[in-house]
């Protein structure tokens, strides 16, 4: 497996309690825009964490995404590298009107386990929320402040993403 530089935590941006399957994500992300999808060549999530904590793999370990493919970089001082995207089912209020931290106890346990595993595997990895990527600033996704949560679970500051200064 290639060295992973970034671990990006996001949500499916689905309403609290709304079921989302692996197939739902693949279909939404890869269906043509004219048919209501995103029109991507592959799903935008590597892993999907269900409310019961089960983790489903959408993209295999040996096929990570180059960060710049989805616009995390910003010009000359942009950030580049290889990333893995972890999405939890939820992230919006029940009626999907705004972002909300809908993580269940089981999702929290799985997220923490994944984060700590990736730090063990790649000691210099940077972890961030989807909304912390420069091109995604101001978005509600993932519905919670990833950097604060990382501090709460004892992640070393060196692994918490800090925006590159221009």
* Sequence spans of domains, the chain: 6-159
Confidence of residue 152 (pLDDT cuts 50, 70, 90): very high
pLDDT at res. 157: 95
pLDDT number for residue 1: 62
User: Counting beta carbons within 10 angstroms of the beta carbon of residue 97, is it exposed (0 to 12), middle (13 to 18) or buried (19 or more)?
Assistant: exposed
Considering the domain delimited by 6-159, tell me its CATH architecture. Answer: 3-Layer(aba) Sandwich (3.40)
Q: Would the pTM of this model clear 0.95, i.e. be above it? A: no
pLDDT score of 77 more than 50:
no
pLDDT above 60 (res 99): yes
Taking the C-alpha atoms of 76, 79, 85 and 91 in order, what is their torsion angle to the nearest 10 degrees? -80
Mean pLDDT of the chain: 86
pLDDT at 75 over 70: no
Q: Other C-beta atoms within 10 Å of 2: how many?
A: 12
Tally: H helices and E strands in the chain: 3, 8
pLDDT the model gives residue 143: 93
């Amino acid at each position: 497996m290639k060295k992973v530089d970034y671990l990006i935590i996001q949500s499916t941006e689905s309403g609290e309690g709304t079921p989302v399957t692996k197939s739902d994500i693949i279909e939404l992300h890869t269906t043509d825009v004219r048919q209501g999808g995103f029109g991507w060549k592959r799903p935008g999530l590597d892993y999907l964490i269900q409310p019961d904590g089960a983790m489903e793999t959408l993209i295999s370990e040996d096929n990570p995404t180059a960060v710049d493919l989805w616009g995390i970089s910003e010009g000359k001082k942009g950030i580049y590298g290889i990333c893995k995207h972890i999405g939890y089912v939820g992230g919006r209020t029940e009626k999907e009107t705004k972002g909300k931290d809908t993580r269940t106890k089981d999702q929290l346990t799985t997220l923490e386990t994944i984060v700590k595993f990736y730090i063990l595997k790649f000691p210099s990895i940077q972890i961030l929320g989807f909304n912390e990527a420069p091109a995604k600033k101001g978005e509600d996704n993932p519905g919670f402040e990833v950097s604060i949560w990382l501090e709460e679970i004892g992640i070393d500051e060196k692994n918490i993403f800090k925006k590159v200064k221009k």
